[in-house]
Amino acid sequence: MTKIYRTIKRSTIIALIALTQCLTNCSGSSQNDTPQTDEVTAAEESGEKNVVMKYNLPIEDFDVKYDTIKPKQTIADLLYDFGFNANEIYKLTQCPDSVFNVRKIRPGQACALLCEKDSIATPRYFIYEESPKSYITFDIANNYYAERRHKPVEWRESEVAGTVKSSLWFAMEENNASPLLAVGMSHIFGWSIDFFGIQQGDEFRAIYAQEYVEDTPLNNYKIIAASFCASNNLVYAIPFTQAGEELFYNSDGNSLEGAFLKAPLDYYRISSKFSNSRMHPVLKRRRAHHGVDYAAPKGTPVYAIGSGKVIKKAYQANGAGYYLKIRHNSTYTTSYMHLSGYAKGLKEGDYVKQKQVIGYVGSTGLSTGPHLDFRVYENGKPINPLTIKSQPKMPISEANKEAFAIVRDSLVKRLTSIPLTTTVASNDSIR
């Protein structure tokens, strides 16, 4: 009986094992289309876990040590403070100069060491932020492989409007907008509005975008559309692209860009105007002053008001100091005097483009302080630079007038809806 019982028990166990295997196999085959393990993985991959990325890496997977480059600190000093030995420092500094010159690290720049979360905190990546938008990643585990990477950039739209009390620069500040927008507007309207002559009560409106990196605003702006009302003369700046070139046009479809700029530098104070009899500030006697003096800090960039050829680059000790002359066409020549220096590499015979930097404001020659003496000659005779006429570039073509009208009407409606009492409006991402 005992033997028979053992035989039956053994047979039962074998049968149960076989039945279990069968059920397991059947269960597995019935779930081939929707496996449970894949559903869990899919759920995890769907973003249920919020992964924080920085430097294009899951930053929370590392222990991070942040630092800032100090004055006179070398890359070796920095890495030594991070715990690198001499051999490790040598390997990292062998980065090709084409990627990054480690000898040119700058004080104030951020850096970071990312270490594994193990018992000895093994260094994994060294990061150097060379600019607000780019950084160098050194992959320590991969023989210190260096790679330049770029942070994601976003442009956000804002609006600003205001009334001029003293200058456009201060008006921007009063409306919580960057004064750099004043410079941008002077570039756009520079052919049609004399920003040295704007008066109290003049009005402006602008739709612009500011560049952001990781929610940090940068001092990079681009004006999308604008209007300026000077002495009851309202001018719109509407962007439109034709013949592959984007320009700003007024409401009639004429280009705001002309053959000549209104002024050869971003607006500053006019200290002396065109005159046939002016008391010379140094010689203390009356003499002709056939130009316009723009008072500006030393080093302020000076632009060519139009395209042309440099026909003179010289120094006059008892007069113009360092100066340039540009021939624009058979009719007009311009002169730029008392410069502190010239644009790098510029020489006689060079062809320059409109708005190209040709030199910098100074006080060389017979001068009492930093300023630019700017002169215009028409057929060899001096004329008042403030009255020079400028033909605009090609207007909107007949084929593009309907498309331009749609863009114009939309932007004009947006601009006119911005209240003059506004401060910077809320930002909305446009890219």
pLDDT in tens, 175-220: 999 999 988 898 788 777 777 678 889 999 999 999 999 888 999 9
pLDDT class of 299 with cuts at 50, 70, 90 = very high
- Predicted local distance difference test score (pLDDT) of residue 104: 81
Q: Give the span between the Cα atoms of 400 and 241, in whole angstroms.
A: 9
Domains and CATH numbers, the chain: 53-150 (3.10.450.350), 154-257+399-429 (3.10.450.350), 269-387 (2.70.70.10)
pLDDT (mean) for 259-284: 64
- Predicted local distance difference test score (pLDDT) of residue 279: 52
pLDDT class of 334 with cuts at 50, 70, 90 = very high
- Predicted local distance difference test score (pLDDT) of residue 257: 80
Give pTM, 2 decimals. 0.60
Annotate 94-113 with DSSP letters as a single string: T--TTT--GGG--TT-EEEE
- Predicted local distance difference test score (pLDDT) of residue 38: 36
pLDDT class of 408 with cuts at 50, 70, 90 = very high
Q: Return the DSSP state at 388.
A: -
pLDDT (mean) for 233-248: 92
Which range of 79-83, 151-155, 412-416 scores highest in mean pLDDT? It is 412-416
Q: Give the span between the Cα atoms of 20 and 2, in whole angstroms.
A: 27
Contact criterion met (CB below 8 Å) for 209 and 155 = yes
Whether the pLDDT of residue 147 is over 70: the answer is yes
With b for 16 or more beta-carbon neighbours within 10 A and e for fewer, the 404-427 pattern comes to beebbeebeeebeebeeebebeeb
The SS3 of residue 83 is: coil
C-alpha 258, offset from chain centre: 25
The SS3 of residue 28 is: helix
Q: pLDDT of 86-140, one tens digit each?
A: 988 888 888 888 888 888 888 999 999 999 998 888 999 999 999 999 999 999 9
Report phi then psi at 272, rounded to 5.
-160, 135
- Predicted local distance difference test score (pLDDT) of residue 252: 94
The SS3 of residue 66 is: strand
pLDDT (mean) for 11-38: 41
- For the chain, the average pLDDT equals 82
Tokens read off for 83:
């715990």
Whether the pLDDT of residue 388 is over 90: the answer is no
Q: Give the span between the Cα atoms of 242 and 283, in whole angstroms.
A: 53
